[in-house]
């Protein structure tokens, strides 16, 4: 993924590491800060300035988009130093673990979708968390009844074996051109020296105050005198800086075999509940063996042809690629470009409900469940499912039943969907001067994950195992070594000539799927530029009698949808999704775009901005 051979990355990285590792770690951070301005980028009182933030950037040579300007600055710094899209993605994701630690970090996992320009192929990496080997199918049941969700979440039982660091290592071995210690340096510097706290960071901390106060490790790491840090203050995480230094020096082994692994297991088995706290915190089942045996895996991406474009997504154990792909295949039967906006939204709702019905029945970890991916993504199956959409247009009664795609197992096992729960995640997109692309989405599940930090190491552990169904015998039931179903949907789209057209993704729990679907339709059918496709108001139906929608959805569209029989309750309190991505323009131009206002807006940068 460099200017010559993509797979030469591991050899080059090892040679560079041998020459530079000792010097880099002895010298320490050096003068450069996360966005290349170092100690000079401070105000008159010596406080660091945050990087500039803009939602749209155009130019050449590479781009980075993310939820946070520190992350885009870190990725841009790597591109400036000659790194490629994978290098930049790892640097940006490490930074998000510092400045957006409640959305995604090394305490969780995720999925990489990668376009290799030289080979002209899309590959994907599954760095999803796994259940400890000792996990029984009844892990979330007590006396035959599900443990309440909040108690499942804030416990050792919810904490899966983290996968992000292993994903970094696998991506670097295959594609990287820079050693890991250089990629972690921008994030390590900011963790040591501090970043400027914004309103979104304060809000997310306050959302978790009650939980953080109940755990000594969490309150010591993320609170200031028992409260959220003040907006505009400088916040430091020296424990995470030390953790990054260990990983930089020893690689992924430091995380999965060394002292970090021991600290993770101690935290899972004996959660550090503060003195006097009465919360019922159940210990978990993770052992050192679970970490030692964890592997990030290469997976086949999903692929569907939509109109004259090719849409790649993430396959199982994520349900993102199959559900988005099936919905697009259903919509293929309509000329959306010629329909009124309200009819397009109506068809989105119906296609989402149908695809979510099939997602609920068939999707799980492909190492444990036979997932009929080809059948779910076949146009014949979509044509069959489309017949359930009423003509003339009217809302179907939901929830809708699942279909029977070719290859579906007929083993007598009842397969069903686990209840959807709200979650938080983070997404970033990178491109480089050679045309390579990375769409990386990673998570610790809820905002704040399990709420339990690893004592002395500066990061929260996930609660991803709550993505399992509570009942045994289902496609997505718990089992030792199994990966819970995900909704993560990094997406790469090729144009009619087979060239990259756009790459994007979003956080948002199950609405990740509906957001990515709507952005795709906005781009391809409605001919929007990526910033407009992202900014447009959204709705989401997860095969429910109610359709969620944002307050910005035009009143006329709401009225038309209700006239068709859709149940639209009050608008959602929070926005749906928080997308970002890159659109590839003619003559090697790039249009990088993030949310303009949702959750405070995201950040987009390019290596060589267009002159205005």
What pLDDT shows up at residue 19? 30
Q: What is the tens place of the pLDDT at every residue in 554-573?
A: 999 999 999 999 999 999 99
CB atoms under 10 Å from CB of 162, counted, come to 32
Q: Which residue has the tokens 């496709």?
A: 533
Q: CA-based diameter of the chain, in Å? A: 71
Mean pLDDT of 526-533: 98
Q: What is the tens place of the pLDDT at every residue in 312-360?
A: 999 999 999 999 999 999 999 999 999 999 999 999 999 999 999 999 9
What pLDDT shows up at residue 22? 30
Mean pLDDT of 132-142: 97
* Stronger pLDDT, 414 or 439, i.e. the higher one: 439
Q: Is residue 44's pLDDT more than 80?
A: no
Distance, CA of 563 to CA of 119 (rounded, Å): 50
What is the pTM for the complete model shown? Answer: 0.92
Q: Is residue 181's pLDDT more than 90?
A: yes
Residues designated as active site: 425
Q: Is residue 227's pLDDT more than 60?
A: yes
CB atoms under 10 Å from CB of 390, counted, come to 14
What pLDDT shows up at residue 42? 64
Going 411 to 413 to 419 to 423, the CA torsion angle's sign is negative
Q: What is the tens place of the pLDDT at every residue in 246-269?
A: 999 999 999 999 999 999 999 999
Show Cβ contacts of residue 243 under 8 Å, excluding neighbours closer than 6 positions.
106, 260, 457, 458, 459
Q: How confident is the model at residue 418 (pLDDT cuts 50, 70, 90)?
A: very low
Mean pLDDT of 192-219: 96
Q: Is residue 4's pLDDT more than 90?
A: no
Alpha-carbon distances of 329 from 253, 326, 384, rounded to whole Å: 43, 5, 11
DSSP state of 259: H
What pLDDT shows up at residue 159? 98
Alpha-carbon distances of 534 from 454, 526, 538, rounded to whole Å: 35, 12, 9
**Arithmetic mean of pLDDT over the chain:** 91
Q: How confident is the model at residue 424 (pLDDT cuts 50, 70, 90)?
A: confident
Q: Is residue 125's pLDDT more than 60?
A: yes
């Amino acid at each position: 993924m460099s200017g010559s051979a993509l797979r030469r990355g591991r050899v080059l990285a090892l040679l560079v590491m041998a020459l530079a590792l000792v010097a880099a770690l002895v010298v320490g951070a050096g003068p450069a800060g996360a966005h290349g301005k170092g100690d000079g980028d401070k105000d008159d009182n010596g406080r660091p300035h945050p990087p500039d933030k803009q939602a749209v950037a155009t130019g050449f040579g590479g781009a980075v988009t993310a939820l946070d300007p520190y992350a885009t600055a870190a990725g841009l710094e790597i591109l400036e130093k000659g790194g490629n899209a994978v290098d930049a993605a790892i640097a940006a994701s490490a930074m998000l673990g510092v400045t957006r630690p409640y959305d995604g970090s090394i305490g969780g996992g995720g999925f990489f979708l990668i376009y290799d320009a030289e080979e002209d192929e899309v590959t994907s990496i599954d760095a999803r968390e796994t259940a400890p080997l000792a996990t029984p199918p009844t892990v979330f049941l007590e006396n035959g009844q599900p443990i309440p969700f909040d108690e499942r979440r804030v416990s050792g039982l919810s904490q899966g074996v983290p996968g992000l660091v292993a994903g970094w290592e696998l991506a670097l071995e295959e594609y990287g051109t820079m050693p890991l210690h250089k990629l972690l340096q921008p994030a390590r510097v900011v963790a040591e020296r501090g970043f400027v706290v914004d309103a979104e960071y304060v809000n997310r901390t306050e959302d978790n105050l009650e939980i953080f106060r109940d755990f000594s490790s969490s309150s010591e790491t993320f609170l200031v005198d028992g409260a959220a840090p003040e907006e505009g203050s400088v916040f430091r995480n020296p424990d995470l800086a030390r953790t990054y230094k260990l990983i930089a020096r020893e690689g992924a082994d430091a995380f999965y075999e060394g002292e970090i692994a021991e600290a993770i297991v101690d935290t899972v088995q004996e959660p550090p509940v503060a003195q006097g706290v009465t919360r019922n915190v159940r210990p978990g089942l993770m052992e050192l063996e679970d970490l030692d045996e964890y592997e990030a895996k290469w997976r086949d991406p999903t692929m569907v042809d939509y109109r004259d474009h090719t849409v790649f997504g993430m396959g199982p154990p994520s349900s993102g690629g199959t559900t988005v792909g099936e919905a697009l295949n259903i919509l293929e039967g309509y000329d959306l470009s010629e329909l009124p906006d309200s009819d397009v939204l109506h068809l989105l709702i119906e296609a989402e409900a149908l695809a979510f019905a099939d997602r609920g029945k068939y999707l799980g970890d492909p190492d444990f469940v036979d997932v009929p991916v080809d059948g779910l993504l076949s146009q014949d199956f979509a044509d069959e499912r489309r017949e359930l959409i009423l003509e003339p247009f009217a809302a179907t009664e939901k929830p809708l039943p699942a279909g029977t795609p070719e290859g579906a197992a007929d083993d007598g096992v009842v397969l069903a969907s686990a209840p959807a729960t709200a979650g938080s995640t983070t997404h970033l997109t990178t491109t480089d001067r050679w045309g390579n692309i990375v769409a990386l989405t990673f998570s610790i599940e809820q905002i704040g994950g399990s709420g339990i930090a690893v004592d002395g190491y500066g990061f929260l552990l996930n609660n991803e195992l709550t993505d399992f169904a509570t009942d045994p015998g289902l496609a997505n039931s718990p089992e030792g070594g199994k990966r819970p179903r995900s909704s993560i949907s990094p997406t790469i789209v090729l144009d009619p000539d087979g060239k990259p057209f756009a790459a994007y993704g979003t956080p948002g729990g199950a609405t990740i799927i509906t957001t990515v679907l709507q952005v795709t339709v906005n781009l391809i059918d409605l001919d929007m530029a990526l910033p407009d496709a992202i900014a447009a108001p959204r709705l989401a139906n997860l095969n429910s009698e109610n359709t969620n929608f944002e307050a910005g959805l035009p009143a006329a569209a709401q009225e038309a949808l209700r006239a068709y029989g859709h149940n639209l309750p009050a608008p959602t309190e929070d926005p749906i999704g928080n997308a970002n991505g890159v659109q590839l323009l003619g003559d090697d131009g790039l249009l990088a775009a993030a949310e303009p206002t949702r959750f405070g807006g995201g950040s987009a940068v390019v290596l060589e901005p267009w002159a205005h």
